[in-house]
Amino acid sequence: MSRPPATESRRRGPTLGAVELVICDCDGTLADSLFAITETFRLALAEVGWRAPVERAAVARYVGLPLARLFEELLPGAEAATRARLESAYRRRYPEVAAGRTPLFPGVREALGRLAARGLRLALATGKSRAGVDRFLAESGLAFEAIRCADTAAHPKPHPAMVEEILEETGVAPARALMVGDTPYDLEMAHAAGVASCGVASGGFTREELAACGPALLLDRFAQLPEALGGAG
């Protein structure tokens, strides 16, 4: 199995300026979706008869990447045809498994409300499909000015396309935006687009691993963001 993006050497991303736009990741940042993802993964494996165990913690470290790459990384011994069957089974089963099982992390709704009340604009950049995002928004009642998904952006994370497309749509300069996410993929995507980042250690990576990516802010959870921004917002 290949390793996730290297986090051994400390890097420094863009510094935080006056923020106008907050771009949020979804899974692991706003929503606690790990159970739904890992349970669907387990069911897909069982459906195709794959018997080798895959640990929950291993799955968590690839959340946010395209589904095809997740299977490629976690099951390097599987043939391409088997991975294609797994992806099909996963996509078919996920909506039922995830229904009502992807709650927002505590304080997320309130934090988004406080940011919006300050006049900050909100966007979403996620590895979910557009159909998955629509289900999530319908369940959560959240709304975002601009949204980019794995199947609507020109390239998936950690390529900067999602962030660049959101900046173009909103007309916000990179120096006035902040990307918030729980993985190195989110932070590297932001930095490649010239945008400051905020790591939140609520997903599959530790604070130390996120810190090595050089975020401008590092939090334990998204709910801390309004206070962390302080006068920057």
Residues annotated catalytic, as ranges: 25
Compute the distance between CA of residue 150 and CA of residue 162 in angstroms, rounded to an integer: 9
Return the H-helix or E-strand segment holding 197: strand 196-200
Report d(CA 36, CA 232) in Å as an integer. 35
Nearest residue to 5 (alpha-carbon basis) of 66, 77, 68, 65:
65
Report CA-CA distances (Å) from 201 to 18, 22, 72, 222: 23, 17, 25, 9
Q: How far apart are CA 103 and CA 35, in angstroms?
A: 10
For 150-191, give the DSSP string.
TTTSSS-TTSTHHHHHHHHHHT--GGGEEEEESSHHHHHHHH
Residue 7 identity (one-letter amino acid): T
Is-contact 212 11, C-beta < 8 A? Answer: yes
As given in the structure block, the two tokens for residue 55 are 């640990």
Q: Say how far apart CA 179 and CA 139 lie, in whole Å.
A: 23
Q: What is d(CA 168, CA 170) in angstroms, rounded to the nearest whole number?
A: 6
